[in-house]
Amino acid sequence: MPINKLTSKQKAVLKYIYDSIRYHKLPPTVREIAQHFKFKSTGTVRDYLKILVREGVIRITANKSRAIELVYENLFAIPILGRVQAGLPTLAVEEIEDYLNMDSLIFSETDTFALRIKGESMINAGIFSGDLVLVQKQNIAQTDEIVVAVIGEEATVKRLKKKGARYFLEPANPHYQDIIVDEQVNIIGKVISVIRRFH
Amino acid sequence: MPINKLTSKQKAVLKYIYDSIRYHKLPPTVREIAQHFKFKSTGTVRDYLKILVREGVIRITANKSRAIELVYENLFAIPILGRVQAGLPTLAVEEIEDYLNMDSLIFSETDTFALRIKGESMINAGIFSGDLVLVQKQNIAQTDEIVVAVIGEEATVKRLKKKGARYFLEPANPHYQDIIVDEQVNIIGKVISVIRRFH
DNA sequence: TTGACAACCACACAAATGTGTAGTATAAAG
DNA sequence: CTTTATACTACACATTTGTGTGGTTGTCAA
């Protein structure tokens, strides 16, 4: 926290640790720090590390290689800002509401694939032509879920609805018509997210 | 190349490496991996690492501790299907049109943040309340781009328009009104993509 | 002057860590 | 049947790495 209390040399060491994590994605070893600053002894580095720990800007774990941790750093995910103040966002701790993780898809048990939307049939659900939808492979779905169905050779994205005992696929666009689910219709997945890019 | 080619055990090892970096902020050592999976030999771990390197999802540096690096380009690659046939997609090579690189959604780790949308002012642009927008930090933008602007304490997402010599922020919803860009309005970024998740 | 502290050096030791060789068992593919 | 690949075990060796002890020099404040 009190980075101002650090001397310029201590700040330089801290910055090197920071850069090492940021660009090499790995905290440095004691000897890597020594080499960078042309220190001829690892003891010098340990003096610096002790000071940085004492000042509360890093944490280290005993007997563990590269176990230097920056106290106020969150490098991994993309911050989701809850509150934005005037000027360019500083990504200050107070502003960060949460972190966006892209990883939940990757290690999911079932396979995931993406499909590019063609047509306007789901515009009222905010799914536009050209959007990508991420689809979780499954051949059943629940009512009101947006599903991917194959009819003949065509894949279509619609909302699954039920009226009485009959299931049908409902577009989110009054200009399109419902599709009754019968033997010709195969549900192949559930839409789990929509991604749109502005080139 | 993509993660689908990995066996479930290989995925488990990859996930452990991923989690280790994510939560302990440090890639694991060979022996840490062995211990976690109760492997009685480090050789087992090395077999897995070799496979993961071969499949292009990690990189390792010789003789360097904890030097396991995730190759995000391949890690976050989800197949985009161009053609879908009846039945569950087989993810056959012929069907794959391209790969969606989740990592490429992010402009650069430092200059990108996410913002959760509140309100209905952009529904005609397919941006709904609750959606996340990825924002590239910048204080200028071009006409017709969707921007994030701060007015007082409030952040707002609108489309930047120009009429004559005057700039204004245009909502994508007829129930909302234009906002004239003046000294009170600060543009802090450009929306580069929209992400919506269905729980 | 004394003492505290930053900022170094030298060197050695033990622990942690990556690497290499040599195996076994099993299942799928040719 | 043979080959190939995955999925392990066992063990030893070399390097990397963290740690500890004991110094020196200079500065600044009490």
* Intervals of chain B under pLDDT 50: 1, 84-94
CB A148 within 8 A of CB A190: yes
**Token pair of A150, please?**
């194959």
All domains of chain B in start order, with CATH: 3-103 (1.10.10.10), 112-195 (2.10.109.10)
Nucleotide nearest to B66 (CA to C1'): C17
Residue-wise pLDDT for B130-167, tens only, equals 888 888 888 889 999 999 888 877 788 999 999 988 99
Give, for all 199 residues of chain A, the pLDDT tens digit: 344 468 889 989 988 998 898 788 899 999 999 999 999 999 999 999 999 998 888 999 999 999 999 876 443 345 555 544 444 444 444 445 555 555 544 444 446 777 888 888 999 999 998 888 888 778 888 999 999 888 877 788 999 999 988 999 999 999 999 999 888 888 888 898 898 988 7
Give the pLDDT of residue B76.
63
CA angle A13, A16, A20 (to 5 degrees): 145
E-strand ranges in B86-129 read 96-101, 112-116
Give the pLDDT of residue B135.
84
Kindly list the protein residues whose beta carbon lies within 7 Å of any strand D atom. Answer: A 29-32, 41-43, 46, 60, 62-67; B 7-10, 37-44, 47-48, 51, 63-65
The gap between B39 CA and D14 C1' (Å) is 23
The gap between A48 CA and C9 C1' (Å) is 14
H-helix or E-strand spanning residue B34: helix B30-36
CB A152 within 8 A of CB A179: no
H-helix or E-strand spanning residue B78: strand B77-81
Nearest to A67 by CA among B32, B80, B134, B150: B32
The Cα–Cα gap between A118 and A159 comes to 16
The Cα–Cα gap between B27 and A68 comes to 12
Kindly list the protein residues whose beta carbon lies within 7 Å of any strand C atom. Answer: A 7-10, 34, 37-44, 47-48, 51, 63-65; B 29-32, 41-43, 46, 60, 62-67
Residue-wise pLDDT for B94-112, tens only, equals 455 556 656 555 555 556 7
